[in-house]
């Protein structure tokens, strides 16, 4: 067994997780190995700058612009890079399109791989044992947990993110959204609809999450 220890070094730190983080941060800061201001900057980035609003803009544009959508589905990386949506945990993007006959859903059964530049930090449920364990075996059961029920003619394709490729679901454009501009369309695109555990909202519903 490689690097298996009966006495992992982490056990030396306080067992309370908040104190464990604090202890490690204090030690590393004292030695000059981390800069607390850099930590603040990382947190601010994912709390305030990078999040599902990025992905929603991409989806809204794909709904509005057929040439953009075709390019996005054919080879997402250059299209997204041009919009500035490139970076850590989004280096190799594939966008998969929902249709009346195929619904796509994304999971990472082995850890928590997720397209950070487009969706930010994954929600707790995406990282939960229940989602990781069940999404591949019973996606329809998981969708029911989200209040989503698919018709029998719609097949489910679950993407298990086992490599550094990250997947974004392009949800179906909802009925009644024909007259909306890109900004209004983006409001219909929830985070979960781009993971595949929700559908895009209808114009009279507004986005949920």
Partner 1 sequence: MSRVHDMGGRFGDGPVMPDSPDAPIFATDWHARALAVTLACGALGKWNIDISRHARERLSPKDYTRFSYYEKWISALADLLVETGVLTREDLEGKDDAGVHALASKALKAEAVAAVLAKGGPANRDSAIATSFAPGDRVKTRHPGGSALVDGGHTRLPGYATGACGEILLQHGAHVLPDSNAHGLGESPEPLYAVVFKASELWAHPEHPNDEVVLDLWQSYLEAEA
Residue from 65, 75, 82, 145 that binds partner 1 (CB under 8 A)?
A: 145
Instruction: Give the span between the Cα atoms of 192 and 169, in whole angstroms.
Output: 9
Stretch that binds partner 1, among 53-61, 64-72, 131-139, 177-185 (CB under 8 A): 131-139
Annotation marks residue 113 as catalytic: yes
- Closest approach of Cβ 178 to partner 1, in Å? 26
- Rounded Cα distance between 70 and 11, Å, is 52
In whole angstroms, the minimum distance from the beta carbon of 115 to partner 1 comes to 11
Judged by CB under 8 A, does residue 24 bind partner 1? Answer: yes
Show contacts with partner 1 in window 71-110 (CB under 8 A).
86-92, 94, 107, 109-110
70-78: long-range contacts (C-beta < 8 A, 24 or more apart)? 72/170, 73/97, 73/170, 76/168
Q: Which of 113, 161, 193, 201 is catalytic?
A: 113
Asked if residues 169 and 98 have their Cβ atoms less than 8 Å apart, the reply is: yes
- Asked if 108 is an active-site residue, the reply is yes
CA distance 23 to 25: 5
Residues listed for the chain:
209
Give the x/- contact pattern for partner 1 in 32-71, rule: CB under 8 A: xxxx-xxxxxxx-xxx--xx--------------------
């Amino acid at each position: 067994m490689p690097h298996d220890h009966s006495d992992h070094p982490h056990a030396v730190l306080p067992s309370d997780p908040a104190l464990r983080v604090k202890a490690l941060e204090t030690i590393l800061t004292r030695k000059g190995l981390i800069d607390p201001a850099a930590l603040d900057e990382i947190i601010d980035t994912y709390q305030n700058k990078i999040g599902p609003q990025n992905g929603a803009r991409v989806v809204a544009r794909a709904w509005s612009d057929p040439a953009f959508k075709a390019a996005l589905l054919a080879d997402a990386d250059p299209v997204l890079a041009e919009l500035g949506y490139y970076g850590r945990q989004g280096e190799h993007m594939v966008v998969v399109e929902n249709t009346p006959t195929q619904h796509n859903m994304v999971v990472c059964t082995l850890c928590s791989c997720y397209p950070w530049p487009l969706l930010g930090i994954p929600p707790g449920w995406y990282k939960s044992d229940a989602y990781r364990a069940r999404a591949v075996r019973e996606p329809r059961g998981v969708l029911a947990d989200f209040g989503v029920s698919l018709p029998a003619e719609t097949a489910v394709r679950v993407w298990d993110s086992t490599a550094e490729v990250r997947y974004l679901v392009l949800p179906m454009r909802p009925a009644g959204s024909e007259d909306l501009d890109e900004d209004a369309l983006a409001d219909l695109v929830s985070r979960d609809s781009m993971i595949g555990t929700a559908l895009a909202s209808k114009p009279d519903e507004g986005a949920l999450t």
